[in-house]
């Protein structure tokens, strides 16, 4: 299994990085965890066919985490001519949010009839669902409540990946990462406190076997060569043995 960071940045393009999009590539499928507004560009720049993605996992309803979905759908219908089904898994309200956003960006486009099936599945905090080889579970994240924020755990056979999404630290999040092979953790700043984001002093206490820091602002980017944890960058590939 391989993880590829198509986008590792925050909402503000800090460090010139693309917005969040993380691919999980297994023998059987490719999943995208979050799909920020720049994600389709990121895929194209790396020669990755967007039609190769079977499922999108959305952590919360903010543009830098799911704003690229309308572009993906429009491309799939009009340019890439997708034929295979696409499943989109996210928090409550995901389907309505995506179609409203699509219509806002391209009026009239949300009524297009694709030649492929689009399936929306919603996952509740403390809920769990299965998609093919993936078992996906979630807890509520401490972020903008209107975005229905989640932290996600993806289990594939004997491997476990936790993605914190955006959010301030909680004891439940620390426990959620215990024994995970990898935790991909938002690390917005080095030490500045926030009601909606984590800093390095928070995330270094997570309990996963390996920690990858992402979604870093300008402050945290200045520390990437000073902390022992792996800091994500656009194009980073990590294999899980």
Asked whether 119 and 88 are in contact (CB, 8 A), the reply is: yes
Q: How many CA atoms lie less than 13 Å away from 168 in the CB half-sphere?
A: 9
- A 10 A CB-CB count for 124 gives 13
Query: In terms of CATH, what superfamily is 2-239?
Result: Ribonuclease Z/Hydroxyacylglutathione hydrolase-like (3.60.15.10)
For the chain, the structural domain boundaries read 2-239
Enter the tokens of residue 194. Answer: 């926030």
| Angstrom distance (rounded) from CA 176 to CA 66 | 23
What is the pTM (predicted TM-score) of this model?
0.96
Q: What is the pLDDT of residue 109?
A: 87
136-142, long-range: CB < 8 A, 24+ apart = 136/57, 136/89, 138/91, 139/172, 139/173, 139/176, 140/172, 141/59, 141/60, 141/165, 141/166, 141/167, 141/170, 141/173, 142/167, 142/168, 142/169, 142/170, 142/173, 142/195, 142/196
Please list the pLDDT of the chain residue by residue as tens digits (241 residues).
Answer: 999 999 999 999 999 999 999 999 999 999 999 999 999 999 999 999 999 999 999 999 999 999 999 999 999 999 999 999 999 999 999 999 999 999 999 999 878 899 999 999 999 999 899 999 999 999 999 999 999 999 999 999 899 999 999 999 999 999 999 999 999 999 999 999 999 999 999 998 999 999 999 999 999 999 999 999 999 999 999 999 8
| Side-chain-facing half-sphere of 88: CA atoms under 13 Å | 25
Inter-residue contact 83 to 118 (CB < 8 Å): no
Q: What is the H or E stretch that residue 128 is in? A: strand 128-131
Q: Which residues pair with 5 in a beta bridge?
A: 22
């Amino acid at each position: 299994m391989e993880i590829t960071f198509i986008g590792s940045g925050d909402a503000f393009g800090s460090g010139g990085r693309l917005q969040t999009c993380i691919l999980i590539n297994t023998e059987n499928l490719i999943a995208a965890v979050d799909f920020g507004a720049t994600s389709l560009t990121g895929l194209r720049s790396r020669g990755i066919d967007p039609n190769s993605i079977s499922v999108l996992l959305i952590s919360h309803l903010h543009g830098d985490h799911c704003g690229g979905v309308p572009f993906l759908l429009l491309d799939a219908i009009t340019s890439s001519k997708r034929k295979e089904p696409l499943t989109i898994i996210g928090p409550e309200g995901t389907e309505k949010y995506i179609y409203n956003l699509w219509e806002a960006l391209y009026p009239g486009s949300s009524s297009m009839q694709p030649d492929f099936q689009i399936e929306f599945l919603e996952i509740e905090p403390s809920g769990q669902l299965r998609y093919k080889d993936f078992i996906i579970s979630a807890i509520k994240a401490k972020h903008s409540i209107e975005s229905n924020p989640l932290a996600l755990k993806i289990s594939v056979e004997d491997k476990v990946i936790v993605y914190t999404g955006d959010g301030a630290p909680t004891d439940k999040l620390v426990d959620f990462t215990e024994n995970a092979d990898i935790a991909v953790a938002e690390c917005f700043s080095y030490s500045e406190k926030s009601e909606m984001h984590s800093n390095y002093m928070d995330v270094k206490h997570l309990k996963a076997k390996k920690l990858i820091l992402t979604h870093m602002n300008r402050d945290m980017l200045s520390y990437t060569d000073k902390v022992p944890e792996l800091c994500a960058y656009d194009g980073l590939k990590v294999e899980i043995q």
